[in-house]
Structure 1
Amino acid sequence: MSLVSDPVAVAAPSPLTSPVRLAAVQATQLLDTGPDEAFNRLTRLVSVVLGTPAVMLTVVDAVRTFLKGTPEPAQIVGPDGVWSAPVEDSGCKVVIESGEEICAGDVRADPRLRDLSLMTDFGAAAWLGVPVRDPAGQVVGNLCAMDVVVREWTPLHRETIRTLADAVEGEIALRLALRETERQAFAAARDAAEIETLARTLQESLLPAQPPRLPGVDIAARFLPGGSGVEVMGDFYDAVPTPDGVAVVIGDVQGKGAGAARTTALARSATRTAAHFDNDPAAVLRTVNDVLHVWFDGRISFVTAALASLRRGPSDTWHADLASAGHPPVLVRRADGTAEFHGGGGLVLGIGTAPMVADEVVTLAAGDSLVLYTDGITEAHVRGHWEQLGEEGARRTLASLDPGADADTIARALTDAALAHCDGRLSDDAGVVVVQVEEPGTGDVDRVVTEHVPHAGVGRETRRSAERVLVGWDLAPGTLADAMLVIEELVANVVDHARTAFRLTLVRGRDALRIEVDDEGAGSPLLQPLDLRAARGRGLQLVEAVTQAWGCDTRGRGKRVWAELAAR
């Protein structure tokens, strides 16, 4: 008789003790050291915006949590400048094991937090924590805010701390990239091609992969590095879809390299966050100024920016609300080829607490283009000679083009003119963004993207903005009704289960209407067997019934749920 033992099931390691995560934490080289001033500044921003007395950024290994940033580190760290605590006593463990944001307006009501000794030690009555990840997506730490009174964490509070956690992640990624560069330099003679590739990779992380495609406008962008071309640029742009159109910003950060890259990432994040909550571009730039003023913390630095908020007007026109903070004026190129200046002026951002922002409204008709650029275009010149291309040279360049030139042709013409004027050696970064109003009915595909953050009325807000778009596309009544049902169900899944910020994309092709919802939640929706007695769980059954196809695509930090309907 032989004896065969049953196999013993081995439990999977918890996220806290995952070897992959612990290796990622070690790679940051942030353990066993005290707070870092770059991270302290970010926590001060959180404290100012959220109005909380305590904000902490920590990195966490399997057993201890180390303080890396806080507004007033001298009040917490010990004589050796380091503060650490057992991970079992802190809220960091909850964030790392869940991999999600933890929001507790009342710590006493949250069984995961109320018995933790550090909550008692710091007198935390309310707590908000978000994960901090490395470039590969591993959770290496936690950014948290706490208050000594019970309070409500608003959607703006949560979006702000998530945005600044993104800035922390950018700082960590930048340090890892720079450390890797140094390692390569010591290992062998520094290769210029590798340095240029690294700079390009970092730069691409600070610029959109591609402009959004919106019905009615065509957006093109061209950015060229100045100097040796191996440092990260200080010029940046972003295009943020809004319910009524798009907000486009272009900016120029003082300096180049790692310091400028950090400021660029923060300026872009602050602009994108503020544009979600305010459609007044002047107010958005004033908000960005407040963020930068705290970030610079007395250092001599600044940012110039121009922001255009475009919305549809009557008879296929668009209205562009322009705001400028120390930035060159934008050029408006009309459909007949003439070009004129608008906007410009104001004072640079980040210097003082009361920014001066110039604003203006411009109406664009079909074929008109709004051209935003940085001073690397107008200040292009041959070394040793001070004759610059200038604003008038930029205007003449646009006026010399064929009237029917598209957005990409216009952008290329300006960068080519700058390169020609300096014999191909730009001394400063040069960037151009062009927004052109299309002729009615052009293009085979219409695409509208809107971004939303969780709040009590987000479902109603999303339905209204989507309905405006779909009604404008003149869909058949049955298709419109089915599309609205699908949108309601997919958005409800995000609100009920993922509970994160999400993006709704509507795409109308020749034969199909595609609906996409992207969120940062874990897990995938599953089609459950129909139970006529159940009060819930029929949403995906309805989606299955009215669509040609639907599915879920997972990605690094979330998923995309999509559905396609016949565009009758």
Structure 2
Amino acid sequence: MTEQDILGDRARLDALARTGLDAASDPALDRFALMVRAAVRVPVALVTLVDQVRQIFPGACGLAEPWMQERQTPLTHSFCRHVVTTAQPLVVTDARTDPRVTGSMAIDDLGVVGYAGMPLTDAEGLVLGSLCAIDTAPRQWTAAELDLLAGLAAACSDMLRLRIAGQAASLRGDTATVREHAFGAAFDRSQLLLRASVALAGTTTMTDVLEAVRELVTRTLKPDYVGVSLLDAGQMALQTGEFLPPPVAGRWRQYPVTARTPSALAAHTGIPVLLPDLAAVAAQTPDAVATFQEMGWESSVSLPLPGPAGPIGALTFAWTHPYTLDAAEQAVLAALAGYAAQALQRADHLYSRERVATLLQQSLLSDLPDARPIELAARYAPAVRGDDVGGDWYDAVRLGPEHLALVVGDVAGHDIHAAGHMGQLRSMLRAYIADRHEPPSALLRRLDNAMQILGDQVPTTAILAYLLPGDPGHVLQWANAGHPAPMLIEPDGTVTALAGRDMLLGVGRRVSRSNHSHPIPPGSTVLFYTDGLIETRVDVIDDRKEELRQTLIGLAGAPLPELLSVILERLAGDDHEDDVALLALRTPG
């Protein structure tokens, strides 16, 4: 048959008409396109239907105008027609050099360079169109990406078949019966992947991923066990032992990837392992037979979790009765395994990033010195939407028996870059404090000049204070570069803001800076803090300052660690927008 014969086939065109779709957005198919773009990481994804003169896009994501508005093109712009006429996937690395498509106007008009399209079929196997991923640059498609795209295409075909059957049933007046019985499973499979795209996209930890997968399949495929094992240095490491009896979990906590078990075989070969009954278990995975008998399982399927360099593990489902997956279920589970693998890798990356950020912050925030008889305490709380590391810092240097230098600063930003700037400034200021016996204002001028010379002109606030012996008690001498005023809490509950500040650091040359001093009565507390404690996007700053003052009135005699914890709880809470650093000192009473 010629291309025109296939495209104009009456049965195929009738099936297209019965989908009820046209050159307009369909929300469900738009979600399929969105899933493809996210899963395969491409700029454009389409659900196309092809007739004898045009292709339409009822599902589209990322398509440029005017095509996104028009939702159709002539066949001169169609790669998908090749999928229809061959009834096979079309995979193109570079359309500009591929003889199958070099003449297509889609290359210049739609920017199609890399292309991967999978057939969309009706219940009779007629190809109606394509689910396709499109890149605007040459693309080497991996086997894992193509498997994931094929699984999504199978689920999308289910949805099209459901539409066709629904229209036929409507004509016969038994729509409900068809939907409930003949096509209920197909509808459930389609919805499973739609739910998966949302549920797994929001996961950030391995526990989140495992719980999401269990929740997704429990309502549809109803397995009795959902398990994940990940590859780790040639070993399989079980991640779901809490859902197994302790003896079974201990037995499979870690085992060789060469073991004859469903998970190991899937991860080792990269091929799904389908075990519809105990006979298949015994024949293909003899090392797992005893566990199957102990758990009462009679069937299972294990799917490789695809990674950039091969499988990273396996996703396993087990049932307590024989279960044979049909081709559509296999495709959907393969797509689900692809989603889960991406989510697991993202969770592992986030965990590693958080660990690095935490270690970096710990290394930059030095331990407080033993300052007895002066008491010291400090806390750091990163912004909840940052990298768990930021530009706020505190520091204390003991210069004599009752002579301390205290620093609190804030570099703009709350990410690793801000932390890097903070580390440089903190180190320079520490060196000045140790080497230069000069007033606080002089040292801040030196730091500001160094920032200008080195080109490190990141807006920064800081306060440098000296606690000196006085008569009676102590004296606090400080210079303030645009930083919130420290708070003095006297033993009777009197709270005073220690005002007086100059321009922040990093914004001008030869800025004049001044020193300030205030007596610190015996038994008093001084609190230094960064602006993340009192500044929010919605509250009036004066109201927040008053809230801090009222909180401090009742904490005059509280131990310093308790004082800092209460301040963080009441002022910052669990959802503060900026980093917070706190440093408190208390003089002997």
Would you call these one fold, judging by a TM-score over 0.5? Answer: no
Q: Which structure: greater helix fraction?
A: 2
TM-score (norm 1): 0.41
Select the structure of larger CA radius of gyration: 2
